[in-house]
Amino acid sequence: MENLNYLWLVPFSPLIASVIIGLFGYKFLREPLAGIVAVIGVAIAAVASVAGFIHVHEVGGHYDLKLFTWLPLGDYNISVSILWDPLSALMSCVVTVISTFIFIFATGYMRGEPAYPRFFAYLSLFVFMMLMLTLSDNLVQLFFGWEGVGLVSYLLIGYYHNKRSAANAAFESFVVNRVGDWSFLMGILLAFVTFGTLDYLDIFAKLPEAGYWTITIIALLLFGGAVGKSAQIPLHIWLPNAMEGPTPVSALIHAATMVAAGVYMVARLMPIFASSSVALDTVLYIGTASAFVAATMGLVQNDIKRIIAYSTMSQLGYMFAAEGLGLFGDGMFHLASHATFKALLFLAAGSVLIGIHHILDVWKMGQLRKYMPITAATFLVGALSLAGIPPFAGFFSKDPIIEAAYHINWVVWALLWLGAGLTAFYIFRLYFLAFENGDRLDPHTKEHVHESPWNMTMPLIVLAGATVVLGFFREFFLEYLRPALDPRAMSDSFVPEETKKLMEEGLSRAHHVHVSEDAIHFMIESLTSPLGILALITAIGGIFTAYLVYQKKVISYQWLGETFKPLYKLFFNRWYFDHVYYAIFVYGYYKLSVFMWKLGDRFIIDGIVDGSAKTSVWTGGKVALTQTGRISAYVLQMTLGIAVFLGLFLLIK
């Protein structure tokens, strides 16, 4: 049996790198040494993750490594632990391997930036927090990592804290995520009250003892946290503004860490969600709505990073839809596939920004393929994968979800199918405007535009290669994940038999769906079946429409905007979510604050203070009338006072 005690390196090597950079960065580890230390830290974690990924089945499917006791609570101890099973092994590999290439890219991208060591200290800490979340075997450690990625994302999004828009974006991200985190915390507390434990395996074993609606409420509260963290409707508004951070931060948040946390959490706690059909339906409908709505928003954006950001929200919706359908393995495979090509797209966008001096508007770009051939070619690979064109990874991970939805819920299928077509259109709208369409660069930018250095193009080439080949490993990944995500393949020590029966009821509809797991067979089916041909025609149609509008200009985009003006305004204003939230929560809170100020401060507090003074003045004025200056009047007053006193005294006696 393989000894996996080295797994502590997975979360703690990035932490050690972060501490070293934080303590010694400004004196001894300035540029580029801070970046090198960060790369070494995350690379060690990646090597350990891959080694553990290879050997996980040699330890009986899951391996629980208790590192130390964190919180002793009487008879119950909360430990810092590593739960290593196929699910956490895959997620750790995704986080660490993708992060390694993002870190390498960042050493070039952040060159010459102020506070270079601080950036890499935060970046390493971000990966540590995500890995603590990924490897936890209890809800407390999960919550620690969950809050940690939220905190560090705030620091990274607001890295340019002297820039007002960046500071506001970081604050918005932090506040919106607190709403979801409140729901998540309530779910954890209810789970503890219900089961008397916070350890995953103990909770899974006790699920049959809890009532259906108790499990449902716990699942829905936990999913509320996922909605915030993974930027799903209605807590999605922070995601596009998070693009204010440096581009490597955007790549890390969108590909390998924060937004993937919600999808991973639902898969990790799959026995809870699978035990409630109501919870699964909620996950399905929220994911589907987010996938479609985000695709419509991406159609009309002009900021290169925001276009890609909306594609993240949309693709996360596909992952949640897969989990809601009961296809947890497909959801996680799409997470891994998406992490690869989304990191590629963001890093390619970062390469563009370096080449043209951080111009974000795609309408101010054009013909960049001529100046940046490697960046253009690798971006094209990522775009084809996102659009779902075979044989790229996105086709093998996204299209099976759409096909499965057709067999379970045709409304869900229709929205996911339309979303896929819109996605193909807007990502190639970006590609044609930035890399192919007429030269719109200003003379100064054109004079200095250049391809990025090797430490930025090398990660692009590797990720592009992975995007081409990853999809062909679909069957391997689904089979690898089966012991963690299929009740029929789970060991009794992981999930007891009674809990499996409870889960089977919730997952029964997924068992009637037969989508080929073999990549080649699935591709042949898609190219020969009516459903597959329709999906492929839709994706190609989206690309071709973008080509006609933005490359050949056969169709005028101004005409499209005027013809569909109500829809254009709806999509451009992001379905008015921001306006409604501003009216209710920002302006509404301001008006409520003014009202409470007038009522509480001016009427009650000022009324009491000022009223006391006025009462004293009035009383003093009335008493002063008795001060006449005549001795006879004073004697009379004293006599009356004594008489009243004696009368009261005799009455009491």
> Could you read off the pLDDT of 356-367 as tens digits, one per residue?
988 889 999 988
* One domain for residues 520 and 597: no
* One domain for residues 472 and 538: yes
Q: Which of 537, 572, 607 is the last residue of a domain?
A: 572
> Does residue 250 fall inside a structural domain?
no
Q: How does residue 400 score in pLDDT terms, banded at 50, 70 and 90?
A: very high
Rounded CA-CA distance 311/290 in Å is 10
* One domain for residues 407 and 530: yes
Q: How does residue 629 score in pLDDT terms, banded at 50, 70 and 90?
A: low
| 198, 139 contact by CB (below 8 A) | yes
* pLDDT score for 487: 86
* One domain for residues 408 and 390: yes
Kindly tell me if the per-residue pLDDT of 2 is higher than 70.
Answer: no
433 φψ region: left (φ > 0), alpha (ψ -120 to 50), beta (else): alpha
Residue with tokens 């679909």: 474
Q: How far apart are the first and last CA of the chain?
A: 98
Residue with tokens 């008493």: 623
> Does residue 590 fall inside a structural domain?
yes
* One domain for residues 583 and 629: yes
Q: Tokens for 537, please give them.
A: 């025609």
Q: Which residue stretches of 508-605 are H helix?
A: 519-528, 530-546, 557-563, 565-572, 577-581, 588-596
* pLDDT score for 505: 77
Q: Which of 545, 572, 599 is the last residue of a domain?
A: 572
Q: How does residue 405 score in pLDDT terms, banded at 50, 70 and 90?
A: very high
Stretch 475-494: mean pLDDT: 88
> Does residue 379 fall inside a structural domain?
yes
| 365, 124 contact by CB (below 8 A) | no
Length of the chain: 653
Name residue 193's amino acid: V
Q: With the CA atoms of 354, 467, 396 and 542 taken in that order, what torsion angle do they form, in degrees rounded to the nearest 10?
A: 40
Q: Tokens for 297, please give them.
A: 């928003």
* pLDDT score for 122: 95
Output the DSSP codes for 78-105: EEEEEEESHHHHHHHHHHHHHHHHHHHH
Burial-class residue 122 by CB neighbours within 10 Å (0-12, 13-18, 19+).
buried
Q: How does residue 590 score in pLDDT terms, banded at 50, 70 and 90?
A: confident
Q: Which of 572, 601, 624 is the last residue of a domain?
A: 572
Nearest to 180 by CA among 154, 147, 157, 213: 147
* One domain for residues 525 and 628: no
Nearest to 270 by CA among 419, 490, 418: 490
Kindly tell me if the per-residue pLDDT of 240 is higher than 90.
Answer: no
Kindly tell me if the per-residue pLDDT of 624 is higher than 70.
Answer: no
> Does residue 23 fall inside a structural domain?
no
Stretch 103-117: mean pLDDT: 91
| 215, 152 contact by CB (below 8 A) | no
* One domain for residues 539 and 615: no
Q: Which residues 6+ apart lie within 8 Å of 233 measured at CB?
A: 227, 286, 289, 290, 293, 577
Task: Give the three-state DSSP class for 65.
Answer: strand
Stretch 84-99: mean pLDDT: 95
Kindly tell me if the per-residue pLDDT of 10 is higher than 90.
Answer: yes
> Does residue 100 fall inside a structural domain?
no
- Rounded to 5 degrees, what are φ and ψ at 67? -85, -50
Residue percentage of the chain with pLDDT more than 70: 96
| Domain membership of residue 537 as a residue range | 276-482+510-572
* pLDDT score for 1: 46
Kindly tell me if the per-residue pLDDT of 496 is higher than 50.
Answer: yes
Kindly tell me if the per-residue pLDDT of 465 is higher than 90.
Answer: yes
| 223, 279 contact by CB (below 8 A) | yes
* pLDDT score for 622: 66
* pLDDT score for 145: 94
Rounded CA-CA distance 91/80 in Å is 18
* One domain for residues 457 and 443: yes
* pLDDT score for 30: 77
> Does residue 163 fall inside a structural domain?
no
- In Å, the largest CA–CA distance within the chain is 121
Rounded CA-CA distance 637/643 in Å is 10
* One domain for residues 472 and 618: no
Stretch 635-639: mean pLDDT: 76
Stretch 82-98: mean pLDDT: 95
Domains: count for the chain:
2
The model's pTM = 0.90
Higher pLDDT, 376 or 633: 376
Q: Which residues 6+ apart lie within 8 Å of 387 measured at CB?
A: 394, 420, 423, 424, 427, 428, 539, 542, 543
* One domain for residues 598 and 475: no
Higher pLDDT, 31 or 153: 153
| 224, 177 contact by CB (below 8 A) | no
| 109, 456 contact by CB (below 8 A) | yes
| 500, 490 contact by CB (below 8 A) | yes
Task: Give the three-state DSSP class for 67.
Answer: strand
Kindly tell me if the per-residue pLDDT of 35 is higher than 80.
Answer: yes
> Which of 283-297, 557-571, 597-611 is predicted least confidently?
597-611
Higher pLDDT, 192 or 437: 192
Residue percentage of the chain with pLDDT more than 90: 62
Q: How does residue 513 score in pLDDT terms, banded at 50, 70 and 90?
A: confident
* One domain for residues 597 and 550: no
Q: Which residues 6+ apart lie within 8 Å of 489 measured at CB?
A: 482, 483
> Does residue 300 fall inside a structural domain?
yes
Nearest to 222 by CA among 139, 149, 288: 139
Kindly tell me if the per-residue pLDDT of 551 is higher than 70.
Answer: yes
Q: Tokens for 23, please give them.
A: 């303590």
* One domain for residues 379 and 359: yes
> Does residue 468 fall inside a structural domain?
yes
Rounded CA-CA distance 257/97 in Å is 12
Name residue 76's amino acid: Y
Kindly tell me if the per-residue pLDDT of 648 is higher than 90.
Answer: no
Nearest to 225 by CA among 138, 330, 338, 139: 139
Give the pairing of strands 63-73 and 76-84.
antiparallel
